Amino acid sequence: MQIEFLGTGAGSPGKFRNVSSLALRLLDEINSVWLFDVGEGTQHQILRTTIRPRKIDKIFISHLHGDHIFGLPGLLSSRSFQGGNGPLDIYGPRGVKEYVNVSLRTSESRLAYKLRFHELTKQTDGLIFEDDKFSVYAAPLDHRILSFGYRVVEHDHPGELMVDKLAQLHIPSGPVYGKLKRGEVVTLEDGRTIDGRQMIGPAQPGRIVTIIGDTRKTANTLKLAENADVLVHESTFGKGESKLAKNYYHSTNVQAAQIAKKANVKKLLLNHISARYTGKLVYDLEKQARTVFPNTKVVKDFDMIDVPFQKG
Amino acid sequence: MQIEFLGTGAGSPGKFRNVSSLALRLLDEINSVWLFDVGEGTQHQILRTTIRPRKIDKIFISHLHGDHIFGLPGLLSSRSFQGGNGPLDIYGPRGVKEYVNVSLRTSESRLAYKLRFHELTKQTDGLIFEDDKFSVYAAPLDHRILSFGYRVVEHDHPGELMVDKLAQLHIPSGPVYGKLKRGEVVTLEDGRTIDGRQMIGPAQPGRIVTIIGDTRKTANTLKLAENADVLVHESTFGKGESKLAKNYYHSTNVQAAQIAKKANVKKLLLNHISARYTGKLVYDLEKQARTVFPNTKVVKDFDMIDVPFQKG
Ligand SMILES: [Zn+2]
Ligand SMILES: [Zn+2]
């Protein structure tokens, strides 16, 4: 599991940062890539990575401002053109479906795969997706228009069956192993009773990644970020600009760090960086945030951040 | 007057060619830039040129395929963000207005300037714009969807009043000069009659640029291209692929060259080059076309081609 940043700028594309998009690379886990926001030029950025568009099977949109969605129709078309034929799910605020459908209809783009829309409303607050490996939660943030934060939770990996221990106890292999692995209590042919739960190693806690799009400081961010391994948070303004941030419905680097600390996350990644910040000023953004939350990094386009398992 | 190519590729963006867009730079003539097609990432390409988005006051769309329009909403938004406040005219096939309006409405983009749409239909054939300096003509081509070629005609510059000759004839300066310049016949106070038309130098013929978007070989191209100084023509396929070109509603390099020759243009620029053509193959495309029409060039992104006046 890695997070690859495709666009880390704010508002409009600049020479050094594209508009918003990031890829949650789940290739080792489920052979998929999930995108969060698709600003204009995201497909161009992807050309410079190892991501194959056909692997993208979920897209989560934080909000409908142009710098977060104007790359969507082009990406969807190119995915088809490049042989993608598996279904693709799009999660995002109400309106994303009409925008995509009008764009595809106007351009007479026929996709070789099924698009499934999951529109979110201001009532949305909680689980929006679940399978046997992952759950995704969404909650509204506080932006000029409806904007969502997402929390991706990997399910815990159950502990391994301790085959060495079973061998020591001279328990013969066979269907009984499956029952023990599922934690059942088993009576062997020789009369012994074995509790499966004692034959299983410790579970490996799943990882949690929280991605917070454009927003003011708000309680829902804290809820979504709780105990996350990685929190990606917007940082449109710098220290001392909280008034500006509030007026423009954005956050400062220090506000993001305060949330990271309070939510007990392990790592904070700051993105949505204004083009005003270059060189030393970026370094300062990071330094200011680190006084509140030391494990902070201001990311740039094409940064690839690993999300490791925590020691159990 | 120059043509600056912003995207010279076909279909989807590649590493070396972006999707379609070109700028007709009329800065010396009318302090404006006109865009022809706006594929995704056009605003990113513009960042790498000296073009200021606020100078763009007309956009002509050949057809509504995604590789020709998906950069439009982003460009329009950024133009506003970067201080553009003069009105902007968009010419293109019916449907462009709904696409732009839904994109801007979905993203809650408020433009600081007036957008004026001029939608073209399959009945459109002839003059679509005229002011004191330029006329623009459009005619339908032959593509999978309605596609237009454009002919931009600069009006002739009237000849200069030959003041040396007037001085030789001892004609005193004054309001009479204005009348002579307009070609009127004037009777002087001393009784002489002077024909203004004989006091004016030769007119400077205006320049003609024809831009042909995606199309099969078709008669309307010939009509639009007649005697043009520069013909920009798509060249999706190479020599020997005219069957493929027909099936996909495109043209070959050789077909474009045949039209250039027949239409008596002065220079042919080939664009809309498939990503299959790289290195030596691009050179071959050019070479094949030159056997039919010698003054041919296969353009690449950021090529800037001057359109000089012809000697009168
Ligand atoms: Zn934004
Ligand atoms: Zn095309």
Between CA B176 and CA B185 the distance in angstroms is 10
Ligand 2 centroid vs A76 CA: distance in angstroms?
A: 16
Q: Do A171 and A77 have their domain in common?
A: no
- B143 among the known binding-site residues? yes
Residues of B whose CB is below 8 A from A81? 11-12
Residue A169, both tokens: 């106890």
> Residue B9: beta bridge partners?
B273
Cβ partners under 8 Å of residue A167, min gap 6: none
Nearest C-alpha of chain B: how many angstroms from A44? 7
Between CA A272 and CA A253 the distance in angstroms is 10
Residue-range definition of the domain harbouring residue A177: 163-199
**Mean pLDDT for chain A?**
95
Nearest ligand (C-alpha, residue B7): 2
Tens digits of residue pLDDT in A220-261 = 999 999 999 999 999 999 999 999 999 999 999 999 999 999
Spatial contact of B172 and B193, defined as CB atoms under 8 Å apart? no
Q: Do A295 and A151 have their domain in common?
A: yes
pLDDT at residue number A311:
73
Residues of B whose CB is below 8 A from A48? 15
Of A171, A199, A227, the domain-final residue: A199
Q: Do A184 and A293 have their domain in common?
A: no
Q: Do B122 and B144 have their domain in common?
A: yes
Between CA A10 and CA A131 the distance in angstroms is 33
Query: Is the residue at A312 inside a domain?
Result: no
Which residue in the set B12, B74, B81 is minimally distant from A70, CB to CB?
A: B74
The pLDDT > 70 percentage for chain B reads 100
Query: Is the residue at B195 inside a domain?
Result: yes
Residue from A154, A146, A150, A121 nearest A138 by CA: A150
Q: Do A193 and A239 have their domain in common?
A: no
Residue from A223, A42, A23, A58 nearest A142 by CA: A223
Alpha helices in B146-218 (DSSP H): 163-168, 175-181
pLDDT at residue number B172:
84
CA dihedral B3, B7, B8, B10 (to 10 degrees): -150
Q: Do B42 and B178 have their domain in common?
A: no
CB atoms within 10 A of CB B279: 7
A99 and B99 within 8 Å at the Cβ level: the answer is no
pLDDT at residue number A105:
97
pLDDT at residue number B203:
87
- B63 among the known binding-site residues? yes
Query: Is the residue at B311 inside a domain?
Result: no
- B214 among the known binding-site residues? yes
Ligand 1 centroid vs B73 CA: distance in angstroms?
A: 15
Query: Is the residue at A311 inside a domain?
Result: no
Is A125 labeled as catalytic in the residue annotation? no
Which residue in the set B15, B43, B106 is minimally distant from A95, CB to CB?
A: B106
The pLDDT tens digits along chain B (312 residues) read 999 999 999 999 999 999 999 999 999 999 999 999 999 999 999 999 999 999 999 999 999 999 999 999 999 999 999 999 999 999 999 999 999 999 999 999 999 999 999 999 999 999 999 999 999 999 999 999 999 999 999 999 888 899 999 999 999 888 899 999 988 999 998 999 999 999 999 889 999 999 999 999 999 999 999 999 999 999 999 999 999 999 999 999 999 999 999 999 999 999 999 999 988 999 999 999 999 999 999 999 999 999 999 875
Q: CATH no. for residue B224?
A: 3.60.15.10
Which residue in the set B12, B40, B96 is minimally distant from A81, CB to CB?
A: B12
B44 and A41 within 8 Å at the Cβ level: the answer is yes
Q: Do A274 and A301 have their domain in common?
A: yes
pLDDT above 80 (res A312): no
Ligand 2 centroid vs B304 CA: distance in angstroms?
A: 21
Q: Do B261 and B179 have their domain in common?
A: no
Spatial contact of B41 and A70, defined as CB atoms under 8 Å apart? no
**How many Cα atoms within 13 Å fall on the side-chain side of residue B20?**
30
Question: Which protein residues have a CB closer than 5 Å to ligand 1 (ion)?
Answer: A 67, 214
Q: How many domains does one find in chain A?
A: 2
Residue B90, both tokens: 């968009």
3-state secondary structure of A138: strand
- B142 among the known binding-site residues? no
Place of tokens 């062997």: A188
**How many Cα atoms within 13 Å fall on the side-chain side of residue A24?**
26
> Residue B4: beta bridge partners?
B23, B304
Of A147, A179, A199, the domain-final residue: A199
Cβ partners under 8 Å of residue A6, min gap 6: A18, A21, A22, A23, A35, A42, A45, A46, A49, A301, A302
Nearest C-alpha of chain B: how many angstroms from A63? 8
Tens digits of residue pLDDT in A125-175 = 999 999 999 999 999 999 999 999 999 999 998 888 999 999 999 998 888
Nearest ligand (C-alpha, residue A235): 1
For chain A, counts of helices (H) and of strands (E): 11, 16
Between CA B272 and CA B306 the distance in angstroms is 20
Query: Is the residue at B20 inside a domain?
Result: yes
DSSP state letter for B232: E
B40 and A96 within 8 Å at the Cβ level: the answer is no
Which one of A57, A67, A229, A301 is the catalytic residue?
A: A67
Q: Do B188 and B289 have their domain in common?
A: no
Spatial contact of B118 and B90, defined as CB atoms under 8 Å apart? yes
Q: Do A127 and A229 have their domain in common?
A: yes
pLDDT at residue number B310:
87
Residue B12, both tokens: 């989807």
Query: Is the residue at B312 inside a domain?
Result: no
Q: Do A167 and A143 have their domain in common?
A: no
Task: Give the distance from CA B137 to its chain's centroid.
Answer: 10
Q: What ipTM is given for this predicted complex?
A: 0.90
Q: Do B189 and B272 have their domain in common?
A: no
Query: Is the residue at B120 inside a domain?
Result: yes
Of A183, A199, A215, the domain-final residue: A199
pLDDT at residue number B173:
85
> Residue A26: beta bridge partners?
A32
Tens digits of residue pLDDT in A251-307 = 999 999 999 999 999 999 999 999 999 889 999 999 999 999 999 999 999 999 999
Interhelix angle A253-262/A280-292, rounded to 10 degrees, is 30
